[in-house]
């Protein structure tokens, strides 16, 4: 299955993408994680994107499109993949259609107020990028990743001011991508629930996957 996950920053795309990918045995491709890894490693791309990401702006289309085109061509993507955070502009959606045949685009719908609450409590593993929430999805040991034992931290772009900017950009630039997939007959929409497990149930039902 080749799947796109859409939704505002903090809607739960990464969380659900990870669960779907584990269930189907296919990789998750998160453009946010690829770009953060490039910054950590200090690559040329990482240096180019740092100022965009820390202020919550989208990085230039060409750069992300090339990154995804190259990643989906790798051998572990032959059976499918879950795209998390891509496409988020119309040019990205159109470019994706030119090199991949997507089976469905799943949108996770969450209000802006709930997004702001979630971002304040989000913690990510600095080693493997797994995502937690201090109240809704806490790790077994506070501050330590369940998966790899790495230290958990706040993300650089999760401050209130940057989150507001990311939400604004989402409404302006990424919501039209939903309409694009609606017209293609590929859009599935699920309302994000207060409890993570309830959202997962709706997501798996919408995709026709057993839990
Ligand atoms: P990116 O890393 O993609 O960030 P984002 O889209 O803003 O999304 P997030 O990762 O913040 O949230 P999420 O929806 O995955 O939610 P999560 O599962 O963590 O992008 C970062 C930056 O990179 C961008 O600003 C841009 O600069 C650049 N970039 C990336 N892709 C790009 C592209 N294609 N084009 C241009 N630029 C690009 O969940 C959030 C929190 O809520 C967690 O703590 C989680 O535990 C909790 N939670 C999740 N679900 C629930 C639930 N149902 N109930 C309660 N809590 C929940």
Q: Please tell me if the CB atom of residue 193 comes closer than 6 angstroms to any atom of ligand 1.
A: yes
Whether 31 lines ligand 1, by a CB cut-off of 6 Å, is yes
Cβ–Cβ under 8 Å, residues 193 and 136: no
Distance, in Å, from the CA atom of 27 to the CA atom of 35, rounded to the nearest integer, reads 17
Give the mean pLDDT of 186-200.
95
- Distance, in Å, from the CA atom of 90 to the CA atom of 128, rounded to the nearest integer, reads 30
pTM metric for this prediction? 0.91
Say what the pLDDT of residue 194 is. Answer: 87
Report how far ligand 1's centroid is from the alpha carbon of 184 (Å): 25
Confidence of residue 108 (pLDDT cuts 50, 70, 90): very high
Q: Residue 9 C-alpha to ligand 1 middle, in angstroms?
A: 4
**For residues 122 and 10, is the Cβ–Cβ distance under 8 A?**
yes
Instruction: Please report the pLDDT score of residue 78 as a whole number.
Output: 95
Does 32 contact ligand 1 (Cβ within 6 A)? yes
Chain-centre distance for alpha carbon 82: 9
- Which are the catalytic amino acids? 13, 88, 122, 155, 166
Q: Confirm or reject: Cβ of 18 under 6 Å from ligand 1.
A: no
Residue-wise pLDDT for 45-94, tens only, equals 999 999 999 999 999 999 999 999 999 999 999 999 999 999 999 999 99
**Cβ neighbours of residue 35 closer than 8 Å, sequence gap 6 or more:** 45, 46, 49, 53, 59, 64, 67
Closest C-alpha to ligand 1, atom 5: 9
Please identify, by atom number, the ligand 1 atom nearest to the C-alpha of residue 33.
2
Percent of the chain exceeding pLDDT 70 equals 100
Residue 211 has pLDDT above 90, yes or no: no
Q: Could you give the angle at which helices 90-99 and 61-72 cross, rounded to 10 degrees?
A: 30
């Amino acid at each position: 299955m080749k799947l796109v996950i859409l939704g505002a920053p903090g809607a739960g795309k990464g969380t659900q993408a990870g669960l779907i990918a584990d269930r189907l045995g296919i990789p998750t491709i998160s453009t946010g994680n690829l770009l953060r890894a490039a910054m950590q490693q200090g690559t040329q791309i990482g240096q180019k994107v740092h100022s965009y990401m820390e202020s919550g702006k989208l990085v230039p289309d060409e750069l992300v499109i090339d990154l995804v085109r190259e990643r989906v061509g790798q051998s572990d993507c032959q059976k499918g993949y879950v795209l998390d955070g891509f496409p988020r502009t119309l040019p990205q959606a159109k470019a994706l259609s030119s090199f991949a045949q997507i089976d469905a685009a799943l949108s996770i719908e969450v209000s802006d107020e709930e997004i702001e609450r979630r971002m304040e409590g989000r913690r990510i593993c600095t080693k493997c990028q797994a995502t937690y929430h201090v109240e809704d999805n806490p790790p077994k040991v506070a501050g330590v990743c369940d998966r790899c034992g790495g230290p958990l931290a706040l993300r650089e772009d999760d401050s209130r001011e940057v989150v507001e900017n990311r939400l604004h950009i989402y409404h302006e630039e990424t919501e039209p991508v939903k309409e694009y997939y609606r017209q293609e007959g590929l859009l599935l929409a699920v309302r994000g629930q207060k409890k993570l497990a309830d959202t997962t149930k709706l997501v798996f039902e919408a995709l026709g996957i057993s839990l």
